[in-house]
Amino acid sequence: MIEQMLNPSYRKFPVKMTVTKIKPYNGRLKHVNGDIMFSTSIHVATLANLKKDEARRICTATRYRLRGHGQLKSYLDERIRKGKYWSPTQVDAIVSYPLTGRYLIYDIPPAIGYYGKPMQMGIGYFLWHVAKVYKDIIYAHQNVYGVWGHAITDLYFEGIVLKPTRSKKKAVAIVEFGS
Domain total for the chain?
1
Least Cα distance to 27 among 76, 92, 110 occurs for: 92
Domain assignment of residue 2, yes or no: no
Structure confidence at residue 66 (pLDDT)? 54
Query: What does pLDDT average to in each consecutive run of 10 residues of the chain (179 residues)?
Result: 38 43 68 73 90 85 64 74 70 86 85 76 88 89 84 88 79 87
What is the reported pLDDT for 7? 40
pLDDT on residue 49: 93
Q: Is residue 1 part of a domain?
A: no
Q: Is residue 5 a part of any domain in this protein?
A: no
| In a domain? residue 51 | yes
Q: What is the pLDDT of residue 128?
A: 92
Decide if 40 is inside a domain: yes
Q: Is residue 118 part of a domain?
A: yes
Residue 6 lies in a domain: no
What distances in angstroms separate CA 118 from CA 29, 122, 144, one per listed residue?
Answer: 28, 12, 34
The answer to whether residue 78 is domain-embedded is: yes
Residue range of the domain that includes 36: 13-178
